[in-house]
Every structure is written in structure tokens, then in C-alpha cells.
């Protein structure tokens, strides 16, 4: 059975199970993968279905990760007025403020079904002011550390998590480093202070550099059947 057939079966099973009670769940299929978007209130119930219903049977939670969508699609490249000002490698780095508050964060779960040999990505969006979602550690015990990581890196809170502590950052760390408004160079640096005889933390002195600016190109060369139609042809048609 090819991967496409298995995904067809999965779509059918999803339709059977979710249509009635969880109509708000939508899924899309791209790159040979299924992505299921679940409203956060229903997450726990839907996950329970995905885990226990036989035709779905996602026994493993392979990965949980947070995403911060605040700077999505944002380009640093500023060559628009290059003819007026002379060419400069101007990479503009401004704080992004125009993000959508109600869907700034997302938690992405990658589930794997060993019995059906198929994967599913479950995504749930969270707002910027109250990024709280139910923990799935009760369904998959292995999600424990992954959720701790998402909390540490993005400040996403998991309701019902048994032990929500920081995991990767230093003891006493402030902030959530993978958020888009957290600078790459960090906020503090540490050194050994000889007078005080201990390690001290100070605000960073180095400045963040951009070697290659972030450029968004509308380049659909690689997408199948997505070649942009030439303007002349459009006019003719």
C-alpha cells in the first residue's frame, strides 16, 4: 500500500470520526502530509479520538513544538529606494508589531500510527495574550518533555501538565528565547568578575548583525502547476 493510499484511508477515517462532533476541525493535504487544524477548546477531545479510535490509532506522539507566527512573511530586504540613496545592504530590522494577536502562537503535534504506518500533523492556534492549551501528557506520556520545551522556548502554558518547568535554558533565565521578539544575541551576557569573585550577568554589549538579509521572493518555480500566467496571455484571454 503506497503512502497516498494510506493517507486516503486516514482522510476517510477522520471524516467518519470528526465530522459529527468536531465539525470545526479542518484538514489539508500537501507534500504527502495531512495537517489537521483543531480549535484549542477541542484539542484534548480530538486527540483522545485520534489515539483510541481503531481506524486512526495514533499510538505515538513523535514531536510537539511551538511556533511563533509574529514575523511570518516579513522581509528585511530594503532595496526599494536603492536608486535614490545609493545601493546599501540595508537589512531593516524593526520590531514586528502588525501580527495577528488571536493566532500568534501555534502548537504543532506530529503523531505517528505504527499500526497504519501513517503520520498526522495536528495544529492548534493560540492567541498572544493567553497562550494556554490543554496538555496531552495524559494521552501520550512521551509528550511531557516536548511540552516543557515549548513552554520554555515560547512561553506557551500547558493546562494539566504534571511538571511544567523550564528545561533547556539556564537556571534563572528570563524570557522565552524562540519568540520572534527575542533577539538572536540574547539580552544578557555573563563573565567572571574578579572584584566580586563570582560570575555576573550584564546586558549584552554585542550588536546583532545580519549577514544575509531575509528576502521573501514570490518564486513559484517549484510548485506544481503554479507557474504565473503571463500578463499578455491574460489580456488575450
Residues that bind other proteins (CB under 8 A): 3, 30-33, 35, 59-63, 65, 67-68, 71-73, 75, 108, 110, 114, 117, 119, 121, 140-146, 149, 166-170, 177-178, 184, 210, 212, 214-224, 226
User: Would you say 40 or 74 has its CB closer to other proteins?
Assistant: 74
User: Would you say 40 or 166 has its CB closer to other proteins?
Assistant: 166
In the complex, minimum distance from the CB of residue 105 to other proteins, in angstroms, rounded to a whole number: 11
In the complex, minimum distance from the CB of residue 222 to other proteins, in angstroms, rounded to a whole number: 5
- If one counts every other C-beta atom within 10 angstroms of the C-beta of residue 151, the result is 21
Residues listed for the chain: 237
User: Would you say 191 or 218 has its CB closer to other proteins?
Assistant: 218
Classify strands 132-134 and 118-126 as parallel, antiparallel or unpaired: unpaired
Structural contact between residues 22 and 50, judged by C-beta atoms closer than 8 angstroms: no
In the complex, minimum distance from the CB of residue 122 to other proteins, in angstroms, rounded to a whole number: 12
Q: Cα(125)–Cα(102) distance, rounded to whole angstroms?
A: 8
- Report residue 61: phi and psi, to 5°: -105, 100
Q: Cα(114)–Cα(60) distance, rounded to whole angstroms?
A: 7
User: Would you say 67 or 126 has its CB closer to other proteins?
Assistant: 67
Alpha carbon 25 to its chain centroid, in Å, reads 18
In the complex, minimum distance from the CB of residue 202 to other proteins, in angstroms, rounded to a whole number: 20
79-86 long-range contacts, CB within 8 A, separation 24+:
none
- Which residues does residue 189 pair with via DSSP β-bridges, in sequence order? 202
Which helix (H) or strand (E) segment is 145 a member of?
Answer: helix 143-154
Q: Which residue intervals of 35-136 are DSSP H helices?
A: 43-52, 82-85
In the complex, minimum distance from the CB of residue 92 to other proteins, in angstroms, rounded to a whole number: 14
In the complex, minimum distance from the CB of residue 161 to other proteins, in angstroms, rounded to a whole number: 13
User: Would you say 21 or 75 has its CB closer to other proteins?
Assistant: 75
User: Would you say 55 or 59 has its CB closer to other proteins?
Assistant: 59
- Report residue 236: phi and psi, to 5°: -65, -45
User: Would you say 3 or 82 has its CB closer to other proteins?
Assistant: 3
In the complex, minimum distance from the CB of residue 41 to other proteins, in angstroms, rounded to a whole number: 24
Determine the angle formed by the axes of helices 3-18 and 43-52, rounding to 10 degrees: 130
Amino acid at each position: 500500500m503506497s503512502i497516498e493510499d494510506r493517507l486516503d484511508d486516514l482522510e476517510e477515517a477522520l471524516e467518519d470520526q470528526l465530522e459529527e462532533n468536531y465539525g470545526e476541525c479542518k484538514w489539508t493535504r500537501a507534500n504527502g502530509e495531512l495537517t489537521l487544524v483543531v480549535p484549542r477548546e477541542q484539542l484534548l477531545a480530538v486527540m483522545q479520538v485520534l489515539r483510541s479510535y481503531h481506524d486512526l490509532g495514533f499510538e505515538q506522539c513523535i514531536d510537539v513544538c511551538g511556533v511563533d507566527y509574529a514575523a511570518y512573511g516579513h522581509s528585511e530586504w530594503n532595496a526599494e529606494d536603492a536608486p535614490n540613496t545609493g545601493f546599501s545592504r540595508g537589512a531593516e530590522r524593526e520590531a514586528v508589531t502588525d501580527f495577528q494577536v488571536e493566532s500568534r502562537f501555534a502548537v504543532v503535534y506530529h503523531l505517528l500510527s505504527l499500526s497504519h504506518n501513517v503520520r498526522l500533523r495536528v495544529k492548534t492556534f493560540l492567541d498572544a495574550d493567553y497562550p494556554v492549551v490543554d496538555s496531552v501528557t495524559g494521552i501520550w506520556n512521551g509528550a511531557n518533555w516536548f511540552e516543557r520545551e515549548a513552554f520554555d522556548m515560547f512561553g506557551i502554558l500547558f493546562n494539566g501538565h504534571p511538571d511544567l518547568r523550564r528545561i533547556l535554558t539556564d537556571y534563572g533565565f528570563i524570557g522565552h528565547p524562540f519568540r520572534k521578539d527575542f533577539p538572536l544575541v540574547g539580552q544578557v551576557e555573563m563573565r567572571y568578575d574578579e572584584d566580586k569573585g563570582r560570575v555576573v550577568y550584564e546586558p549584552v554589549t554585542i550588536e546583532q548583525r545580519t549577514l544575509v538579509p531575509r528576502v521573501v521572493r514570490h518564486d513559484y518555480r517549484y510548485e506544481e502547476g503554479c507557474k504565473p500566467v503571463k500578463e499578455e496571455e491574460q489580456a488575450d484571454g
